[in-house]
Structure 1
Amino acid sequence: MEKRKTPVRGGLFFNNNSYSVCADTKADVTLIDMQTATIRAYPKIKAWFQTHSVWIVLTLTLTYALIFIVFAIWKYINFHYDALDLAIYNQVFWNTAHGKLFGLTIHPHSYLGDHIELTLLLFAPFYTIFQHPITLLIIQTLWIASAAIPLFWIAQKILNKLWALLFTAAYLANAFIHNINTFEFHMLPLALPLLFILYWAYEKKNFRIYLLAIILLIFTREDIALVTFFFGFLPLLEKKQKRWWLMPMILSALWFPIALKITTLASGYEQYKFAYYYGWLGTTPQAIIQTFFTEPTKVLSYVFQVGNTFFLITILLAFALLPLFKMKYLIPTIPILAQFLLLGKGSGSIILETHYLTLIIPWFFISIIHVVKEWQMQPKPSQMWPIKRWVLQKLRSEPSIAIPIIITIFIYTFFTMSPLPSAAQTFVREIRNPNPKKAIQDDLLKNIRPTDVVVSSYNTLTHLSSRNTVYSLHYLWTGKKQLSDEPYWINTPVDTLYYDSENFLEYYFHWKKNAGFENFFDQGDNRMRAFLSEQKLVPSTVIDDIIVFRRAENAQADEISVKNNKRSVEPQNIYTLYQNIPKMKKTVDRKLSDEITLLGWNRLNQAHRLPYKTISRSLIWRVEKTPENTPFLRLQVRNPKKQILYQKFYALGYGVLPPTEWKQGDIIATNYWFVIPENFIQSGNIVTINLENFESGTFTLDGLRSANITEMKTKPTGPAVPIARF
C-alpha cells in the first residue's frame, strides 16, 4: 500500500526522508526549488551548529565582552560615569587594596554600611594588579558575559544544542542585560552567572556546586538571600529530596538577619539604611505588618501606581509574555518584585535602565526555556489554562506568524531600550562636533595630586576616586547624609574642590523641582559659601563652567597645558560686588528680565591662555529686585542667517552666588571664560547671551545610562544681547 504524502504549506510534501513538490503554476517552480533546497540543507546546517556549538558560544560571549569593554572605556574617558556608584566601588576597592578593608569616605561610614558584599574580597587581588576604575568595568563585563555559558548548559540539558544557542544569543542581545552592564559598576551582576549555575546544578543534581552557588550568592549581597530562600520553594513543589529545598532556605534565613544587623551597625543608622524607601509602611517590622492589614487601600495604591504598572507591562512585553506561562519558575522573583512595587515613588524606567533587574532576568530566561519544552512535548490540553493552551497551539500551528512576532518584539526592545543605539549616535556626534570640555577636564585633573583630599562634582568623582579621601559635592550641597535626615558636613581639611557648575542645573531639576526637597537646593549655595570660607578655598582656575578651588596658600600651583608647554595660572574671581557702577568696555543697559538689568561688560585677562577659543567677559548686572525664581544664562552661537549653531546654559554666579541671593540695588559682575567649540568659530557668526527660566525638565538617565537633564523646556525672560562676533 502506497504511503500517503502529507501536504505542507507552499506546495511541499514530506514522504519519509524524501521531498516532492506540487506547483500550481510554472511561476511557482523557482520558489519551490528554493524551498526544497533550504529544507534539504537544514539537516546539514543543524548538524554544523550542533558540532560547533561550544565555539559559537565562546565567540558570541567574547564578542559581547569586547564590545562592552570598548564601550565602557569610551564612556569612562569621556566622563559619562557620573551616577556615583562606580566612584564608590572604586574607592572601596582602592582602599581595600591598600589595607583598609571596605574603606569609604564618599559616604561617612564603611562600605559595609551600604551593603554586605563579601565576594568583593575575591576580586580585590585582580584590582591590585591595575588599580583603576576601568579594571572594575572589565571585571563586570566579563562576569555578565560569562553568564551566557551556564545558560547554554541549562538550555542544552532541557532542550537541545540548537535551542541553547538561540537562548545564548538572546541573552547577549538582551537590552536589559546591556543596561545592567552599562550603568556604573556593581557587585550585584555577579549574581547573573551564579543564579544560572545554581539552577544548572539543580537540574544536574550536583549538590556540591549547588551548595557553593548558594553560599556565593548570599555573600554577593545581603538581599540575594531573599531570592535563594524563595528558590527553595521550587524543589519543594517538585518534591525533591529535603536537602534541595532545606539548604537554600536555612542558609538564607540564617544569613539575612545577620547581614542586616552588620550593615545597620556599620552605617550608624538606627535601622537598615535602605528601609528608608519603605518608611511609608512603618519604621518597625510590626508596624509594616500592621499597615498591610489595616491600610490595604494605601498599600494597593502604591503597588498599582503608574510607574509600577509601566514597569511590569514593559518587562513582560519585552519577553513576549512568555514567562507567565511557566510562573513556577518566577517564584524566586517574588521578593525582588515586592521591593520594586512597594517603593514610595514607584519604579518606572529607572529600574529597567539600571542594574536592578539582575535578580529577575535569569528566571525569565529559565521560565521561557520550560515554555519551549512544554511547546515541544505537546501535553494534554486539560493540563493547561485556556489562554496558555491557545498560545501554544498558535505557536505550533502558525510558527511562521508567531515566531516572527516574538523576534520582532526582541528587536524592538533592543532598539528602544538598549544603550547601544544611543551610544553609536553619541559617538558619531562627538566625532563630528568634539566637545572641548573633555580636554579641559583632562588638563585640570592632571594638576590634582594623588594625595590631595578632594571634594568633586558628579562627572569627575570617578576619576578622582583612587585615593584615600574623596567626597561628593552633592552631599555637601544638600547638607544631609544619604537616605537620612542627619546633617552632613566635611570637617577634614580639603586641598581641592573641583566644581562643575553644570551640577547646579542638575541640582535644580533634582531637588528644586522635586516636592519636599526644595530646601536641598535653596540652602545649598549658603552651605557651599560657608564651606569655602571655613576651608579657606579660593578659585584657582576658572574655565567655561568649571571652577577648581584650592587652599589660598596653594591657589597659584595649578598648571594648564598650552599645547606642549606648561604655565602657572593666577587665582581668578568668579564674581565681584561693586558699590558703584564700574567703567565698562561695552555699555548695554538692557533689562534681560524684570528683575535684572545687564549694564554692560568688560574683557577679562586670558590668564590661562588655553589651547581653546575662549570669550572672556565680566558681565555687569544691576538688580532691580531679588528674583523669586532662579534664572539661567543661555549662550548661543548664531550664523549670519540667525540660525542657532550652538547653545549652552550657565549658572549665574556659577551657582555659588545665584541670583536669588542678589539684593535690590546690588551691582554685581559675574566673570566667565566661555569656551566655544572650534567648528562654530567661523567668520560672521555672532555670540549672544540672554536669561531664561526653566519651565520643565527631568534629571534622569539618558541613552548612555548617564545622569543628565532630559525634556528640558525654557522660556526667555528678555532679549538676547550680542557679546562677540567672529
Structure 2
Amino acid sequence: MSVTRVVLSRALPGSSRRTQEAAQPATRWVWVAAVLLFAAYGTVSLRLHQRMLTTGYDLGIFEQAVRSYAHGHLPVAELKGPGFPLLGDHFSPVLATLAPLYRIWPTPVTLLLAQAALLAVAVVPIAAFAHRVVGGRGAMVVAFGYGSSWGIAQAVGFDFHEIAFAVPLLAFSLVALAEDRWRAAALWALPLLTVKEDLGLTVGAIGSVMAWRGARRTGAALAATGVVGSALEILVVIPSFNPGGRFTYWDKISASGTGTGDPQGVGNTLYHWTLGVITPDPKATMLVMLLAPTAFAALSSSLMWVCVPTLAWRLLSDNPDYWGTNFHYSAVLMPMVFVAFVDAQRSWEGRPRRHALAVAGAVGALLLPQFPLGQLLQPDTWHTSPRVAQAHRILELIPDGATVAASNRLAPQLTDRAQVTVFGFPGSRPSPQWIVVDTATPMGWPVSPEQEGQLIAQARSDGYVTVVDRDGCLLLRRQR
C-alpha cells in the first residue's frame, strides 16, 4: 500500500477537504518554517555571544575541538587541561564535519550558526509528517510546537553542543519509523553513534521499537548495533583517549542516590530506582514540561519508548543539573515527543484530535516567553552595553597565538585565535602570558569571587603587571 493511500485511509472521515489537504505535499512551507527558525535561533545565539553571555564551558571547548579538526588533528581542548584529548571525554567525531566550514570562517559564530541550522532543519520531517497526518493547519501547530519548544530554546540559549547533530537525525529517523520505512529509519539512526556515546542506547531503543512494530530482523540488528556501539565507546574508545584511562562520567550515576556510589541499605537503593526517578521536584517538573506541549497525547505512541535511555541516565544521575529544564540536555527529547504526538493523532479523530492540537498550541505559546526564544522580544537583547564594548577593545590588546587565562565568559571571545584556559580552573596550563578577568560580574565558577581576588593578588606577586583595569575588565601581562 502506498504512503498516500495510507494517509488517505487514516484521514478524518467525512472531511474530503481535510483528506485532500493532507495528501498534498508540504515541501514549500516547511522549508520556509525551517528558514524562519534558523533566523530566530541564530539571532538569539549571536546576540548572546556579542553581549559576552556565552562561555568557555562549553562554546570554547567545542570551538577548540573543531579548530583541531580544521587543522588536521584529533580534537584537543586546552580549556579542559593542557593538550587534553576531547575524545577521552565524550565520543563526538561528528564535530569533524564542521572543520571545512571553520577553516573558511574560523570563529565561534560558525558553530553557533551551524547549531541553529541543525536544530531548524529538524522541523522539516516533523512538519511534513504532520501535514500528511493532520493536514496543513494541524501541521503548523506541530511546527510551532517543535520550533518554540523549551528543550530546543534552552539549547539555543546555552552555547553550542554536539547534540545539535542528533536532533535532525532523530527527527528523520523517527518519522521514517512512524511510516514503516524501516531502512530509512535505520540509516538515519546509525550516525547517532558518532554524536555522543550514550546515543547508541537511543539507537538501540529505535531498533527495539522497530522490531515491536513489525520489522523484527532489521529492528533487532539495529538495536544490537546501538547497544554494542555505546558499550565499545564507553568501555574501550573513550578510556583509550582519556589521560586517566577511564570513562569519567561513571560517578554521575550511583546505585544509592547519594552521589558516593556507596549504597546505604536496600531501602535506599530501592527508593533511588523507584520514587527517586521522579523526585526531587525538578525531575517531576521536567517530565510534566516534556509532555505538556503535546497535551500528553504523545504517551499513546510507542515511539515514546525512544525517550527512555536519555531520561534514564538523567533521572538516575546524582547531578542536579541533569534533572530539570536547564541547559541543553532536553533538546534530543523534543523531536521524539513531537513525532510521537503526530503518530498518536493517527488513531484520534474529530474533536479529540482538534482539542489535542489546540491545547498543544496554547501550551507552546504560554511557554515561549519563559525560555531563551522569548529574548527576541526583550529590549536588552538588542542593546550592547558600553562595558561590553570596552571589554571587546581590551581583548584586542592580546596578540594572536598567545596563552591566556580568561574568565569563563571571556574565554570564547578568544578561542579562535589564542590558547585559552579558564582562569582559576584546576589543572590549567601554568603561567600563561596573559590573564584577563571580568571583575564586575564574576560567575562564581570555577572559583568564588573571593578566591578569584586571591588568585589575582597571587598573579601580581608572581610578576604579572596590569595593562588595563577599566569598567570591570582587568588585563594582566606576565613580565618577560
TM-score by length of 1: 0.58
Q: Does 1:330 align with 2:299?
A: no
**Residue 163 of structure 2 contacts residue 331 of structure 2 at CA under 8 Å; is this kept in 1?**
yes
Q: Does 1:409 align with 2:336?
A: no
Q: Does 1:420 align with 2:348?
A: no
Instruction: Select the residue among 261, 281, 287 that pairs with 1:312.
Output: 287
Q: Which residue of 2 aligns with 1:170?
A: 145
Instruction: Note closer, same or farther for the CA distance 1:208–1:372 as it changes in structure 2 (3 Å cut).
Output: closer
Residue 267 (structure 1) shift: 2.6
Instruction: Select the residue among 463, 473, 477 that pairs with 1:546.
Output: 473
SS of alignment partner, residue 60 of structure 1 = helix
Residue 94 (structure 1) shift: 1.4
Residue 174 (structure 1) shift: 2.4
Residue 456 (structure 1) shift: 0.6
CA distance in 2, matches of 1:440, 1:176: 34
Instruction: Select the residue among 317, 320, 324 that pairs with 1:346.
Output: 320
Q: Which protein is richer in strand relative to its size?
A: 1
Instruction: Select the residue among 181, 184, 187 that pairs with 1:212.
Output: 187
Q: Which residue of 1 aligns with 2:232?
A: 258
Deviations 1:315-346 (A, max 9, x none): 222332222233x2211111211122122253
CA distance in 2, matches of 1:373, 1:51: 17
Map of 1:103-252 to 2, 5 A cutoff? 103-108=76-81, 109-160=84-135, 163-203=138-178, 205-243=180-218, 245-252=219-226
Q: Larger relative contact order (C-alpha < 8 A, sep ≥ 6)?
A: 2
Which letter maps to 2:106? Q
Residue 240 (structure 1) shift: 2.1
CA distance in 2, matches of 1:62, 1:217: 24
SS of alignment partner, residue 253 of structure 2 = helix
Deviations 1:9-38 (A, max 9, x none): xxxxxxx99xxxxxxxxxxxxxxxxxxxxx
Instruction: Note closer, same or farther for the CA distance 1:199–1:221 as it changes in structure 2 (3 Å cut).
Output: same
Number of aligned residues: 463
Deviations 1:460-489 (A, max 9, x none): 1111011462101141xxx3xxxxxxxx24
CA distance in 1, matches of 2:117, 2:346: 29
**Residue 257 of structure 2 contacts residue 269 of structure 2 at CA under 8 Å; is this kept in 1?**
no
Instruction: Select the residue among 438, 447, 453 that pairs with 1:500.
Output: 438
Which letter maps to 1:230? A
Instruction: Note closer, same or farther for the CA distance 1:49–1:157 as it changes in structure 2 (3 Å cut).
Output: closer
Q: Which residue of 2 aligns with 1:368?
A: 341
Q: Which residue of 1 aligns with 2:4?
A: none
Greater Cα radius of gyration, structure 1 or 2: 1
Q: What fraction of aligned residue pairs are identical, expressed as a percent?
A: 18
Residue 395 (structure 1) shift: 2.1
Q: Which residue of 2 aligns with 1:443?
A: 393
Which letter maps to 2:225? L
**Residue 286 of structure 2 contacts residue 325 of structure 2 at CA under 8 Å; is this kept in 1?**
yes
Residue 143 (structure 1) shift: 0.9
CA distance in 2, matches of 1:292, 1:358: 35
Q: Which residue of 2 aligns with 1:10?
A: none
Instruction: Note closer, same or farther for the CA distance 1:414–1:490 as it changes in structure 2 (3 Å cut).
Output: same
CA distance in 2, matches of 1:147, 1:71: 18
**Residue 50 of structure 1 contacts residue 161 of structure 1 at CA under 8 Å; is this kept in 2?**
no
CA distance in 2, matches of 1:277, 1:530: 34
SS of alignment partner, residue 84 of structure 1 = helix
Residue 164 (structure 1) shift: 3.6
Q: Does 1:395 align with 2:352?
A: yes
CA distance in 1, matches of 2:286, 2:59: 25
Instruction: Select the residue among 485, 490, 495 that pairs with 2:429.
Output: 490
Instruction: Select the residue among 59, 64, 72 that pairs with 1:86.
Output: 59
> Where does structure 1 lack aligned partners over 5 or more consecutive residues?
1-15, 18-41, 379-393, 480-487, 512-518, 554-726
Residue 407 (structure 1) shift: 2.8
Which letter maps to 1:441? A
CA distance in 1, matches of 2:392, 2:268: 57
CA distance in 1, matches of 2:266, 2:95: 36
